[in-house]
Chains A and B, each alone.
Chain A
Amino acid sequence: MSQLEPFALGVIDALTALLMMAVDLLPEHLAAPFEYRFMQRALLTSVLVGAICGLLSCYVVLKRWSLLGDAISHAVLPGVAIAYLLGWPFFIGAFVTGALTSLGIGAIERHTRIKSDAAMGLMFTAAFALGIVIISKIATSTHLLHILFGNVLGVKTSALVLTLLASVVTLLAIWLAYRPLLLYTFDPQQAQALGFNTGLIHYGLILLLTLTIVASLETVGIILVVAMLITPGATAHLLTDRFTSMLAISVAVGVTSAVVGLVLSVSLDVASGGAIVLVASGLFLVALLAAPKHGLVARHWRRWRLNRAQA
């Protein structure tokens, strides 16, 4: 890990330099805030988080895992609190409780008569409550607010290194396991029949989801991260009938909302997490209305033409 650090810092500097070349193309008053180091860090974090959330959100949307994403993100809170108590890096605790909760949900589902939505609701509220109780004992309310709602302007270098690492792992995993993941998402029974280890794929995908959530904590916070895991994928699903295009569009939506939301939050002086999610929701609304094939306008237009042709 410690040998990795200088390497990761070098990569971060290189990526920041690349981003700044793009920022230099912006008009003066928009580009000005990015002269500050903390703004550059916030920008890079937003781009990375937008990208990996965009990728994962395609699987979340197609697999109907929205509630699971919500559950894992809430379950991360006690991990953050316990790590804080023990003086560990927050992401280790977050990852452990997030992963444990998803395992617990699976166990309840399989071994009792409780249905999956109840199992999820039960597990994540319990974990979240535990987190609230611990934090209320040990930390200030500002600290709690930052965990719950994110604070991208205060991202530390260590958190940025984690986000970078999570992005690399997610990208590699989706590239190397592209086909098994696609087949498992589309038709798990077929994946089983072709001899794929569906249990491994299932839990691998859940671990990727947990990793992405942990990496996004500082940017959008526990409460809103699930929006970044649903909205980009849902927007892309309205715009295309190809899985690869869906991945690309979803990443574009994720990155655009993260960056535009960051800029808006600075210029309007509002919470960054909320601004990012509102931009994403706005993009979804545009797609919902105006998507060429699956949008509401196009659907009504087709129905109207059909009715007129029959009349």
Chain B
Amino acid sequence: MSNIITATNLTLSYDKEDEVIKDANFSIKKGDFVFITGPSGSGKSTLLKSFYGSLAVDKGSLVVGGLDMVDIKKEKLQELRTHLGIVFQDYRLINEWTVEKNVVLPLWIAGYSEEVQRTQSERLLHHVKLSGKEKKYPLELSGGEQQRVGVARALAKNPFLILADEPTGNLDDYSSNVIWDLMENACHQLDTTVVVVTHRIPMVFNIPYRHFTIDEQGSVYEVH
């Protein structure tokens, strides 16, 4: 199976001196479900940010979806991002847009017709059990519902890679389980690679997964 992410001697830092991730070597294959755990401040989110090019590679190499992330051109990065699904702990929805408009944001960016956007929006909102809330605004929804909109948005363009940063960090158990189900389905049924940064792996998880952990020194290990 082909590698979706390959890190070789990857070092990441915010100010070039204080290294957060040191000499990481790992690869993530197509269809993998990966949890990244570690103590607070160990660099979990930093590592995830480097996967979608929000943080530049300091040393070593990082290849995502076949693209070398070292000195990647702006246009290439934009292109890559249109094929990713990203989920945040704080949802990052556009509050002045309706739920349906938020969900189809990746399709709107890619220039899909309004008809396609409408059809996809209906399908995705049904999938995340939010049918009937199309015209609502994010702030009119509960935290769990907002996160489901975030997941629907991440799935909108059938991405080859979903990156989720603490997607259940602000949610209750019920909402968390709904989110994990959606992630599992995406990975299992669509063969999408999913990388999730989390404090704790859910007790019940129905598909095989890989587990990376980052220690306080910034070293990345795979837990077997």
A, B from the same assembly: no
Chain B interfacial positions (CB closer than 8 Å to A):
none
Chain A interfacial positions (CB closer than 8 Å to B):
none
